[in-house]
Chains A and B, each alone.
Chain A
């Protein structure tokens, strides 16, 4: 690319122009990187200061000495942030397993089985992708309250544990690319649909299943609206709900609050660092969240 530039431009400017362009590019990209990271680093820094240190030193000074006082108070005494961590893990595990199992089965049916009503149903499933969570929040709140499951673990997970239309759509597209010869071979071997799914289709679709697993974990871990809607006590607070609760209880105790946000985000930041390539690819597949 630089070669063609040099050929076409006059001699003296040709040497400078690409250098200037590169410099601007680096400047822009580095500035963007700094802006992206700064809030994370600044909040981490604040969480490592004692409240007294934070009050008496300049806001952006480095913590000296580094103290884990805030993290200690998060997990000992009256706050007990361990409860929301455990609740969140339980919620995420149930939702991820439920959604993946339900979605894999449905996607297999839509991709490979033939039965009356299949195509119409698929369009119905697709159309539900348009419905935003804030629209179903009120009726679900009403339904769950009517059966007495408000502020229970079941109330949090049951409405969302059966399947995700989006996951079904994604899996169906991928299941369809399994070569028919393989399916025929499985049939000749006497494999029923369940065997075929388990030993032919699933092993061939490991990458998309891994991607979907990641997206589901991220989405459910970060969910706030529904857990906030359906829980009233601290017993069933998930991390996001507990974070806002803490923030309202300890208004302006920023060192403690930043410790809480750090704890709430850390697992996903780690997940992100480990699986960055898969996550970036998943965005390409998902289209939009």
Chain B
């Protein structure tokens, strides 16, 4: 859609003649753009340029800045903590995203049966998405608390969910899944509603059972939605910060130290700005590649109507 509109924009019949009319158009256009130009150039693009520059520097805001070439990068690729944070982020994504997508799809399929009384639930499932991940993280920190937490009370056990080396990351992943499933299901629901009922009727006449219908008809027809949801979920899970900060602060022993936490503690808390910036640049490059790849796959932007 974006490309199409752009072409239309180019072909507007308004002339591009120079002179006073052109000058006035120029001033009007940039006058309207003025505030956003500050926002985009000073507070988005300049920071990107600065972070790239700082990735090649050593600085702690106080002592004079020192240019160190690619030292930060060569340091990082031998740095256990950084490599650990990459591994943790990938593991977190692998734990959280497939389940989020599958459960979101299941929820949408169930909601799409439109049984009486279920339409209100669709909205209810989105509730966690509206709340601050930080506040939800604190709530879940209590739920997972070993002695007086809700989960151990329900299960009648005494498990150290968030300080156990093996359980901490899956516990954080559960919270991520819990907060995102309802949101993701809305996309699937929109995708499902675009599939014509006649397709299902034909399948039923052919004697397809519910599982066959889901696997052979619904899933293939939902592939664009599934792809879109998966990629955007992966992009956001590469950036997860608030939930981790609230629940574990990166611990125990770095087991939940995702890349964003690492950037934060290295670049901002410890003021090793160069190293923090270098990690941020690596993350940016990965995210740009993923996003551009997704755009190339789609070519056009998908829009969903959920009214």
Residues in A lying within 8 Å of B, measured CB to CB = 1, 4-5, 8, 21-22, 25-26, 28-29, 32-33, 35-37, 39-40, 42-43, 46, 54-55, 58-60, 98, 101-103, 105-106, 108-109, 113-116, 118-119, 121-122, 124-126, 128, 130-143, 145, 158-165, 168, 173, 176, 193, 218, 221-222, 224-225, 228-229, 239-240, 243-244, 247, 252, 254, 257-258, 260-261, 264-265, 268-269, 271-272, 276-277, 279-281, 283-285, 287-289
A36 to B183, CA, bound (A): 12
Other than A109-B28, A113-B28, A136-B48, give 15 A-B pairs with Cβ distance below 8 A. Answer: A4-B204, A36-B125, A55-B148, A125-B40, A126-B2, A135-B284, A137-B280, A173-B5, A225-B241, A240-B134, A244-B138, A257-B138, A265-B132, A283-B186, A288-B232
- Which segment of B67-75, B215-223, B297-305 sits at the interface? B297-305
| B143 CB within 8 Å of chain A | yes
Query: Is the Cβ of A280 less than 8 Å from the Cβ of B280?
Result: no
Q: In the assembled complex, how far is the CB of residue A164 from the closest CB belonging to chain B, in whole angstroms?
A: 8
Query: Is the Cβ of A109 less than 8 Å from the Cβ of B29?
Result: yes
| A residues near B246, Cβ cutoff 8 Å | 244, 247
A165 to B33, CA, bound (A): 12
A96 to B288, CA, bound (A): 27
Query: Is the Cβ of A224 less than 8 Å from the Cβ of B277?
Result: no
| B residues near A229, Cβ cutoff 8 Å | 264, 268
Look across to chain B and name the residue whose beta carbon is closest to the beta carbon of A125. B40
| A residues near B127, Cβ cutoff 8 Å | 36-37, 40, 269, 272
Query: Is the Cβ of A124 less than 8 Å from the Cβ of B45?
Result: yes
A224 to B133, CA, bound (A): 9
A-B interface pairs (CB < 8 A), number:
319
| B200 CB within 8 Å of chain A | yes
Q: In the assembled complex, how far is the CB of residue A223 from the closest CB belonging to chain B, in whole angstroms?
A: 8
Question: Are A224 and B242 CB-contacts (below 8 A) given A105-B32, A243-B138?
Answer: yes
- Which segment of B94-102, B115-123, B165-173 sits at the interface? B115-123
Query: Is the Cβ of B132 less than 8 Å from the Cβ of A162?
Result: no
Query: Is the Cβ of A284 less than 8 Å from the Cβ of B132?
Result: no
Query: Is the Cβ of A139 less than 8 Å from the Cβ of B277?
Result: yes
The main secondary structure of chain B at its interface with chain A is: helix
A285 to B16, CA, bound (A): 34
What are 15 A-B residue pairs whose CB atoms fall within 8 Å in the complex? Answer: A1-B200, A5-B204, A21-B113, A39-B140, A42-B143, A105-B33, A122-B6, A131-B48, A134-B263, A135-B47, A160-B43, A224-B241, A243-B134, A244-B245, A283-B129
Residues of B in contact with A, size category: 35 or more
Query: Is the Cβ of B132 less than 8 Å from the Cβ of A268?
Result: yes
Q: Which of B38, B183, B273, B307 makes the CB contact (< 8 A) with A142?
A: B273
Query: Is the Cβ of B25 less than 8 Å from the Cβ of A115?
Result: yes
Query: Is the Cβ of A284 less than 8 Å from the Cβ of B305?
Result: yes
| A residues near B39, Cβ cutoff 8 Å | 102, 160-164
Q: Which of A32, A102, A115, A126 makes the CB contact (< 8 A) with B125?
A: A32
Query: Is the Cβ of A134 less than 8 Å from the Cβ of B29?
Result: no
Question: Are A135 and B51 CB-contacts (below 8 A) given A114-B12, A126-B2, A269-B130?
Answer: yes
Query: Is the Cβ of A113 less than 8 Å from the Cβ of B131?
Result: no
Q: Which of B107, B121, B264, B268 has the most CB atoms of chain A within a 10 A radius of its CB?
A: B268
| A residues near B44, Cβ cutoff 8 Å | 128, 131, 136, 165
Tell me the chain B residues, 141-191 only, with Cβ under 8 Å from chain A: 141-143, 145, 148-150, 152-154, 178, 181-183, 186-187, 190
